[in-house]
């Protein structure tokens, strides 16, 4: 690894000057993604009850969660401090820009966190929210700064097309990218959580690769094929002098206490403390290995928000029964862990 932000920038096809800029971003030698959680009484970074953008499934305090300590942990990298999130500075430095999150409900989780961070920084600014249903895009704009923070819902990144045989997940096709994602200033991608869905919640009936159709296939293999399709699209379509590309990383779930050395625990319910130390006992998910493999083969720079392990340490950060109503150990309460993801994004954009 090359420090904080150059995790997987390949030099194979990147212009020399651009590649050197990539290297210099990690020149302080500090890995922002390795560290531990420390209690900080100055946290949370905003009031969950006063931010008007938190949806019910992320609003754990409004939903009756009795403990609040989970809101007051700060991420402390080993050997340095992570610079604080400054909402006004974020808006000034991104004046006139369009920033888009692309992915599933974990992207929405991070998007809502960023909206609350910006709202708390400039609460008297004029905000607008628009939804374009045809493109499945929501746009939040801070008018004084002409900054738009957008969400494009696309849970697999590749296309789902309705055909005569049913709904087909086309592992080698990305048409939405050309219509929705191109020509923006910042893109933050995410996918993984929907890849293992089966039965009624699976939003497709068949996989398609080339001219062949499959009723099912190995989901991790399908994930890698789709990521490679996405990587090719970025390499072919994105101009890195105009657009910064990030990948959110793999957001983990906590449905099995064996991973944190409590084998009798079935989910995150009642968890009120993060894990101590810097390493998750249960190891990292294979999906992260696949993601890093794909990113390492790209010719255009993509900055990995390597949030997996730091989030694995936060078994206390999920809504559990204080979100959707069902047991939710996948999403995150707000304020909470996604605020740190956005703090890392902010420092990456600097």
Q: Which residues are catalytic?
A: 105, 328, 331
Cα distances from 97 to residues 108, 126, 185, 242, 243, in angstroms, run 19, 16, 6, 11, 10
Return the structure tokens found at 107: 């992207």
What is the rounded radius of gyration, in angstroms, for the C-alpha atoms of the chain?
20
Nearest CA to 347 out of 7, 82, 105 is that of 82
d(CA 115, CA 124): 14
Instruction: Name the token pair of 310.
Output: 């730091």
Using the structure block, give the residue that is written with the tokens 């990030």.
Answer: 246
Sheet holding 244-247, edge to edge: 127-132, 137-142, 147-153, 98-103, 186-189, 244-247, 303-304
140 in Cβ contact with 115 (< 8 Å): yes
Reported as half-sphere exposure (CB side, CA atoms, 13 A), residue 61 has a value of 15
Structure tokens at 37: 């959680």
């Amino acid at each position: 690894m090359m420090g904080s932000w150059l995790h997987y920038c390949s030099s194979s096809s990147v212009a020399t000057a651009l590649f050197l800029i990539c290297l210099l971003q990690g020149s302080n030698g500090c890995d922002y993604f390795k560290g531990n959680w420390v209690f900080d009484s100055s946290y949370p970074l905003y009031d969950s009850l006063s931010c008007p953008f938190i949806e019910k499934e992320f609003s754990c305090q409004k939903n009756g969660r009795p403990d609040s300590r989970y809101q007051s942990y700060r991420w402390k990298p080993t050997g340095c401090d992570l610079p604080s999130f400054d909402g006004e500075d974020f808006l000034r430095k991104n004046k006139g820009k369009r920033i888009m999150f692309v992915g599933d409900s974990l992207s929405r989780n991070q998007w809502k966190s960023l909206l609350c961070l910006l709202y708390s920084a400039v609460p008297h600014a004029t905000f607008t929210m628009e939804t374009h249903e045809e493109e499945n895009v929501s746009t939040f704009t801070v008018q004084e700064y002409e900054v738009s923070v957008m969400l494009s819902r696309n849970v697999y990144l590749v296309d789902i097309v309705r055909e005569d045989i049913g709904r087909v997940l086309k592992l080698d096709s990305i048409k939405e990218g050309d219509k929705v994602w191109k020509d923006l200033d910042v893109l933050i991608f995410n996918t993984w959580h929907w890849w293992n869905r089966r039965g009624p919640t699976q939003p497709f009936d068949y996989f398609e690769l080339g001219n062949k159709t499959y009723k099912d296939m190995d989901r991790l293999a399908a994930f890698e094929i789709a990521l490679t399709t996405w990587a090719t699209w970025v390499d072919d379509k994105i101009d890195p002098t105009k657009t910064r590309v990030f990948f959110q990383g793999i957001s983990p779930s906590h449905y099995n206490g064996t991973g944190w050395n409590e084998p009798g625990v079935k989910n995150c319910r009642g968890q009120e403390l993060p894990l101590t130390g810097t390493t998750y006992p249960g190891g990292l998910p294979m999906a992260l290995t696949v993601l890093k493999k794909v990113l390492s083969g790209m010719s255009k720079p993509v900055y990995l928000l390597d949030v997996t392990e730091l989030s694995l340490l936060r078994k206390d950060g999920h809504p559990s029964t204080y979100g959707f109503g069902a047991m939710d150990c996948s999403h995150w309460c707000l304020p909470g862990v996604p605020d740190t993801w956005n703090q890392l994004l902010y420092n990456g954009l600097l």
